[in-house]
Chain A
Amino acid sequence: MEIPYTVEVRPDTGLTNGKIGIWLFLASEVMLFGALFASYILIRTGAPDWPRGDTILNVPLATFNTIVLITSSVTMVMAWASLMRNRFGTYRLYMGATILLGGVFLVVKYFEYSHKFELGLFPSTNNFLAIYFTLTGLHMLHVIGGMAVNAYFWGPGAKLWKTNPEWFRNRVEHSGLFWHFVDLVWIFLFPTLYLL
């Protein structure tokens, strides 16, 4: 059975099913991270004192990671633009760069986490570290998920380009929307956890 409205838009919504699907999913993601941000506010405002993030966390590494993630958002959108220009080779380069930058982000996070554990700083140490590990850990899972989808569209999933290029463009656009959302969440996590 063929999946309906993958390329042509539904007359009632004016959108493809994939597009409305990814946005509904992102809406649920907003509520997930929103609940955690609300918890953070509640815990922080209820605490008698709260440490500044930069006294515990590594700001230069996090700044580097912010630059990495923003750059990966640009390479992601350039991958989609390459498909719009029918340049599949360029798409592969940009998509490969996006996956690679996601990997760089995770490696930096690995070193950050390792250093904290070496110093005996764990989620159970205090409320600040509990919320830090929860938020950044959940964000990292999203980075891994996004990388897996992007890797699929870079590799085996790219076969669709030969048979149905328009559908493939749409799928890359949708995975891009998720990737940009992951970037957007980090844009708020960075100052909230590291700088305030």
Chain B
Amino acid sequence: MQATTTTDHAADIDRHVRIYISVFVTLMVLTIVTVAISRLHLPVPIAVSVALLVATVKGSLVACYFMHLISEKKLIYAVLGLTAAFFVVLLFLPVLTHATGFWIHHQ
């Protein structure tokens, strides 16, 4: 029984290692894609959207597989969910200030 468990554990780690290598190759390809897209000199809004989309895919791969977020405990997801909510608010603050223009006009 013990031997079977050890073999299962080893097989599980081997499977993880294969995933790490696949993710590594994907990240390398996406890095090349990022640079190649920037050479196309697309209009700024499209260039920003595409670059951030590719970066988000790359970041998700790192977070899900290297940081093992794909199989984490609920409490970690809760912490990250709260962080993500505050992060989005933080990123939208500049948008709000521009939309209302209050930081420019109320001086």
Decide if A81 touches B17 in the complex (CB within 8 Å). yes
B45 CB to nearest chain A CB (Å):
11
Interface residues of A toward B: which range? 35 or more
Summarize B's interface: helix, strand, loop or mixed: helix
Summarize A's interface: helix, strand, loop or mixed: helix
Decide if A73 touches B55 in the complex (CB within 8 Å). no
Q: What is the CA–CA distance of A85 and B79 in the complex, to the nearest angstrom?
A: 30
Decide if A84 touches B75 in the complex (CB within 8 Å). no
Which residues of A are found within 8 Å of B55, using beta-carbon distances?
Answer: 187-188, 190-192
Asked if A114 is an interface residue, CB under 8 A from chain B, the answer is no
Which residues of B are found within 8 Å of A181, using beta-carbon distances?
Answer: 67
Interface residues of B toward A: which range? 35 or more
- Interface digits, A45-74 against B, CB 8 Å rule (1 contact, 0 not)? 110000000100001000100110011011
Q: What is the CA–CA distance of A77 and B68 in the complex, to the nearest angstrom?
A: 10
- B86's nearest neighbour on chain A, judged by CB, is A31
B75 partner, pick from A15, A45, A176, A183, beta carbons under 8 A: A15
Shortest 4 CB-CB distances between A and B: which pairs? Answer: A195-B38, A42-B94, A191-B51, A27-B83
Chain A residues near B (Cβ < 8 Å): 13-15, 19-20, 23-24, 27, 30-31, 34-35, 37-38, 41-42, 45-46, 54, 59, 63, 66-67, 70-71, 73-74, 76-78, 81, 84-85, 176-177, 180-181, 183-184, 187-188, 190-192, 195-196
